[in-house]
Structure 1
Amino acid sequence: MPTPFLLLPLATLALAAWVTWLAIHYAIRRRLVDLPGERRSHQVTTPRGGGIGIVASQVFACSVLAFLYPAYAFALLVFAVGLLLVAGIGWWDDHRPLPALPRLGVHLLASLMLGGVVLGATGDPLKAAFCAFLAVSLINIWNFMDGINGLAASQAALVGIGVAVLLPWPLGIAGAVLAAGCLGFLPFNFPRARIFMGDVGSGALGYLVAGLLALGMCTTVLAPPLWLVLPSVFLVDAGFTLLARILKGERWMQPHTQHLYQRFVKRGRSHAIVTVMYASLTLSGVAFTVFFSSLPLGWGWAGGLGWGAALAAAWGFLRIGLFNKDDD
């Protein structure tokens, strides 16, 4: 394996850790903190905004890869600008909360930029539209699911590992650097949180995951549902929780504690146990995807759709057990 493929993830990890450490001191000095509350899963006041370390590491990695591979420089530049837009509006929101509409507008713009990259690479408008929709969805899903220690970063790291295994090199380096950036942040957030990711990190992770999935869909012949197995734990918990709230006529954009991971915590499970549970399921999904990737395309479609259906059924079963009228 060429030396850059070994050194770049290590440099990415180190940069993420260093910037996260700086972010802790910045947040304390600026009183940028999350307070405990009824809609929160933590019990102590904690600094936020540590996700800036992951963002810095990924922008750095994009710059290095653009230098090493000039043919991909423009696509990497557009993607990095989209990442900075998502992270920037999140950073602003961490400091001074914004209405939903401006944030969604920026998310849509960044997602359309990713769709434009896909269109330029494939000439397929349907694939480009799907990737743009996936990006705006995952930006918000990662934000919704970033509620307990280590959950959002560990899930993104596992998606990165899956992509690194599934894609041929040098393309697989993209998954490796995302995993490395998340691993640089995780010691500050798991099992005990010295800092939270904040919107600057959660939205950016959703965009980064979308970028990896778009890369896989553009450069391989694997069935799209198989790629969606990688973030399926978040897709199912966030998506079906949102659908349930809409069907009940609730104000679905308001903060709540109805995701399964939040209910597990309310029932007495520790953040560490729940994060490990979700990580174990996603790791199983990675192994499942790797296995089905070696089978004919039709098996990939069947496997991806079957995994999604099984996960949705499990979500419904657990929801019945974890919810009751007194909890609501």
Structure 2
Amino acid sequence: MNLFSLGLLTISVALVSGVLTGAVRGYATKWLLDLPNARSSHDVPTPRGGGLAVVLSFTLVAAGLYGLEQISFQLLMLVLGALPIAIIGFWDDHGHIPARWRLLVQVVSAVWALYWLGGMESVRVAGEVYDLGGLGSVFAVLLMVWLLNLFNFMDGIDGIAGIEVISVALSSCWLLVYQSPSFPGGADILLLTLAAAAGGFLFWNWPPAKIFMGDVGSAFVGFVLAVLALQTSSEGTLSLTVWLILLGTFFVDASVTLVRRMLSGQRWYEAHRSHAYQRAARRWASHKRVSLSVLAINLCWLLPWAFAAVRWPRLEPVLLACAYAPLIGLTLWLEAGKQGG
């Protein structure tokens, strides 16, 4: 696929996703209206479930790319594992599904992905390969489940989830291209497709949002990024450390908030609005400002550290710590996870 075809594909995916989001909005306005409550970050009733457009446009194009021999059967099977997660997420958008059933589907999808990855018995850190045996597979399943839920937790204000998907997908795509001259070569074109699909949705979700992503979209994109992270890590093109750096804004905010809520004896599994990004949105009275700040952090702070980790893999632990330190400080300064948020 030449660059012209690739550009045409990207624009087409974004347009299709945008049109589908508009169509979903017509349905969601009737059946999936999100009414503001004490834990909401929005003030007016807004439809949710717009992520269905991302799911449909990305999945259809992924199938087409396999038909055109642009991605492998393994990659197609990996991303198709996200469909059950999207289905139960869409069901949950209509009415609450008990967490145990959602978790069961998530674990089954993660095990499916692990099968197509051929297991995850070793991991590369700081340029060295460490044999983890069966624990590696357990770690991989937990990582996939955590990342998909992480996007669910962090999809709480206008624009933020779309911004995160686009910036992380494009950044990782660029790093893959930097690593290998053969472009597109598989995971990179899927990342570009995911970014384009999220871009079409973001047109409708940009503050003030006309529709929310919903569980159908947030869990789906989180899972797709997780399996592509594991796939590129297993083949040695991008290490997990690089992915953790790129996902730093979401990973740090969600993790610090969860740990703080657990340590303070709060019901950490209940809905809340005490994430750092939610507190920042209330402090600044602007979803747009927070979402643009996330974009700036991702591109101007985290991407350079991730690039450094690609160039000097032996320094990965140090680079990860340097990238995360100010983010942890910012999250604590914003009192993420503090009771009463």
Q: Please indicate, yes or no, whether the TM-score normalized by the shorter chain is above 0.5.
A: yes
Taking the TM superposition and a 5 Å limit, the aligned residue runs for 1:92-241 are 92-119=91-118, 124=122, 127-167=136-176, 168=180, 169=183, 170-171=185-186, 172-220=188-236, 222-241=238-257
CA distance in 1, matches of 2:323, 2:240: 13
More deviation in 140-149 or 214-223?
214-223
Distance change >3 Å, CA 174–CA 127, structure 1 → 2: farther
- The letter for the 2-side match of 1:16 is S
Q: CA RMSD of the aligned region, Å?
A: 2.2
Name the % identity: 33
Distance 1:217 1:18, change over 3 A: same
Deviation by residue 1:109-147 (Cα, 9 ceiling, x = unmatched): 111112222226x77455544332221001111111111
1:265 Cα offset (Å): 2.1
Asked if the contact 1:160/1:179 (under 8 Å) is kept, the reply is yes
Q: Is the 8 A contact 2:41 2:157 kept in 1?
A: yes
1:288 deviates by: 2.2
TM-score, normalised to structure 2, is 0.87
Q: Are residue 242 (structure 1) and residue 258 (structure 2) matched?
A: yes
Measure the CA separation in 1 of the matches of 2:320 and 2:146: 19
Separation in structure 1 between the aligned mates of residue 285 and residue 143 of structure 2, nearest angstrom: 31
Q: What whole-Å deviation, never above 9, does each CA across 1:47-89 have from its counterpart, x for those lacking one?
A: 111000111111012102211228711x234224311111000
The amino acid across from 1:85 in the alignment is: P
For residues 21 and 95 of structure 1, the distance between their equivalents in structure 2, rounded to whole angstroms, comes to 18
Counterpart of 1:229 in 2: which secondary structure?
A: helix
CA 1:305–1:126: 2 relative to 1, 3 Å: farther
Listed as ranges, the matches of 1:1-328 within 5 Å are 2=2, 3-28=4-29, 30-69=30-69, 72-73=72-73, 75-119=74-118, 124=122, 127-167=136-176, 168=180, 169=183, 170-171=185-186, 172-220=188-236, 222-283=238-299, 284-295=301-312, 297-319=313-335, 327-328=340-341
Unaligned runs of 5+ in 2: 123-133
Maintained 8 Å contact 1:42/1:148: yes
Q: Distance between the aligned counterparts of 2:338 and 2:70, measured in 1?
A: 56
**Where do 5+ consecutive residues of structure 1 fail to align?**
none
Say if 1:226 and 1:301, in contact at 8 Å, map to a contact too. Answer: no
- TM-score normalised according to structure 1 size: 0.91
Please give the alpha-carbon distance, in whole angstroms, between the structure 2 residues aligned to 1:257 and 1:301. 31
Check conservation: 2:257, 2:337, Cα contact below 8 A. no
How far residue 291 of structure 1 moved from its aligned partner, in angstroms, is 3.4
